Structure 1
Amino acid sequence: MNIGAVTLPSICSHTSHCAFPVRATASNGVTSPPNLAIEGKNLSYAITARNGKLVPILNDCSLCIPSGQLWMLLGPNGCGKSTLLKILAGLLNPTHGAVYVKRPRSFVFQNPDHQVVMPTVEGDVAFGLGKFNLTQNEVRSRVAKALHAVGMSDYLQRPVQTLSGGQKQRVAIAGALAESCKVLLLDELTTFLDESDQIGVIKAVKNSLDGSEEVTALWVTHRLEELEYADGAIYMENGKVVMHGTPSNIMGFLKERISSYTNRINS
């Protein structure tokens, strides 16, 4: 199947130019309208191999994500999803292209043990607030609101070591929300979780967005079943953005791909 020949309705008019009026300009030169939380234009990324040659990881990727929505970034292993997410988080600099992401932004790691550092739930969610000039009452208020958003209010004094993997992920998300982040960048949060924890984490993210139109989330995953919780989706292959649109369109496209592949194998 020729992927490039498939045309389906999407949020963007095509993958390299968003169908929104341009009104604001970020400091790095990317122009973006107020209703976009994330926009990347012609992003490429390469690493230098031992022989000195450049090895491309991303190739001319463009995307745009409206504010206040949960979007999924899907694709097979090794397609560049996590690399793209790290560029959006500012952890990597693109070799080429420009990026706009609303601030503050927060990156939540695949393994919660790499991010949850304090002995109690309350202490961990409050940990990042030390850089702000807040009173104790303001800190308590932010922590309580963030834990409520992810369904963890009853775990305020619980030792972190007694939590499940999914509960730790929700605490990590609450920590980002407590810092009033505008964009959540979530790297395959359900990889190490059982089914009940998977659903709990997804619903926690969805509920936190429903409670605030100002928070946007981009969720990297390879699980198609998680698409049902998304407002939009992006599909990648071989370092490129192949499709950018509604979850139903992405799902239909992937089902068509699977059917075509199966027919070729059977024949």
Structure 2
Amino acid sequence: MFVIGPRSFVFQNPDHQVVMPTAEADVAFGLGRFDLPIDEVRERVHKPQKAVGMDQYAQRPVQTLIGGQKQRIAIAGALAESSRLLLLDELTTYLDRDDQIGVLEAVRSVVGVPQKVTALWVTHRLEELEYADGATYMENGRVILSGSVAEVEAYIKLKQDELFNRKDSVR
């Protein structure tokens, strides 16, 4: 895949990505490479923090945030850089169920037409498909099927049924 334009990565372990002392400073971190006036920096930090539900945590030390909050800060940092494509690698791996849902809803709230942001994520959690507009199924590093969520879910179900039927016949 070749992508033109601003893009950002959000990794599975937020502790490897969230590096600044406060949530607000972390969101602003990537903006340091641009020569922006302070008012624009504030706007570019506040807007994505609000979009992911973390604006009330701006001054919190990052070490006091839980995993899902750190992930949302990492997403806000990517958005602050005006990224139009978020590449999300196993976004919910280290999170409990509530934080998983919170992070997925944060992503959903920032993608789409008004924001012109696309999220592409790699996951092994099939329950995350309910948050997707489309899906691609891969085996051994190769694309097997790409289409609607319903098509991919049906294919996975068929594969699971074949696997379980084979195991039952071996017994």
**TM-score (norm. length: structure 2):** 0.95
Q: Which amino acid is 1:265 matched to?
A: K
Which whole-Å deviations, capped at 9, do the CAs of 1:246-266 have from their partners, x for residues lacking one? 111100111111112111221
Q: 1:235 aligned to 128, 137, 153, which one? A: 137
Number of positions where the alignment pairs a residue of Structure 1 with one of Structure 2: 169
Q: 2:16 — aligned with what? A: 114
Tell me which of 55, 76, 86 is aligned to 1:174.
76
Q: Which has the higher contact order (CA 8 A, sep 6+)?
A: 1
SS of the residue 1:241 aligns to: strand
Q: Is the 8 A contact 1:166 1:197 kept in 2?
A: yes
**Structure 2: which amino acid aligns with 1:216?**
T
State whether structure 2 residue 168 is matched by structure 1 residue 266.
yes
Kindly indicate which of the two structures has a greater share of residues assigned to helix: 2
- After superposition, the C-alpha distances for 1:216-241 in whole angstroms (9 at most, x for unaligned) are 11111000000000001011001210
| Structure-2 separation of matches of 1:162 and 1:211 | 34
Instruction: Report the alpha carbon displacement of residue 210 of structure 1 after superposing the two structures with TM.
Output: 3.8
Find runs of 4+ consecutive structure 1 residues off by over 3 angstroms. Answer: 210-213
SS at match of 2:111: helix
Instruction: Specify the alignment match of 2:127 in structure 1.
Output: 225
In the alignment, is the contact (CA less than 8 A) between 1:110 and 1:191 conserved in 2? yes
Kept in 2, the 8 Å contact 1:102–1:183? The answer is no
Q: Following the alignment from structure 2 to structure 1, what is the Cα–Cα distance between the partners of residues 75 and 159? A: 34
Give 1 or 2: higher strand fraction: 1
Larger radius of gyration: 1
Residues 35-57 of structure 1: per-residue CA shift (max 9 Å, x gap): xxxxx3xxxxxxxxxxxxxxxxx
Query: Please, which runs of 5 or more residues in structure 2 have no aligned partner?
Result: none
* Consecutive unaligned residues in structure 1, runs of 5 or more: 1-39, 41-99
Give the AA of the match of 1:156. A
- Assess, with a 3 A threshold, how the Cα gap between structure 1 residues 194 and 146 changes in structure 2: closer, same or farther: same
Instruction: Tell me, yes or no, if the aligned pair for 2:112 and 2:118 is still in contact at 8 Å.
Output: no
Give the alignment's TM-score, normalised by structure 1. Answer: 0.62
What SS does the aligned partner of 2:60 have?
Answer: coil
Cα RMSD over matched residues?
A: 1.1
Tell me which residue corresponds to 1:49. Answer: none
Paired with 1:220 and 1:261, the residues of 2 have a C-alpha distance of 23
Matched, 1:104 2:6: yes
Deviation string 1:44-80 (CA, Å, 9 cap, x unpaired) is xxxxxxxxxxxxxxxxxxxxxxxxxxxxxxxxxxxxx
In 2, the alpha carbon distance for the partners of 1:119 and 1:211 equals 33
Following the alignment from structure 1 to structure 2, what is the Cα–Cα distance between the partners of residues 238 and 114?
27
| Corresponding position of 1:156 | 58
Quick one: which of 44, 65, 76 aligns to 1:142?
Answer: 44
Q: Matched residues in 2 for 1:155 and 1:212: separation?
A: 25
Cα distance in 1, alignment partners of residues 68 and 97 from structure 2: 10
Distance 2:25 2:113 in 1: 23
Cα distance change of structure 1 residues 125 and 116 upon mapping to structure 2, 3 Å threshold: same
The percent identity for this pair of structures is 64
Q: CA deviation at 1:211?
A: 6.7
Match of 1:45 in 2: none
| The one of 97, 108, 121 aligned to 1:195 | 97
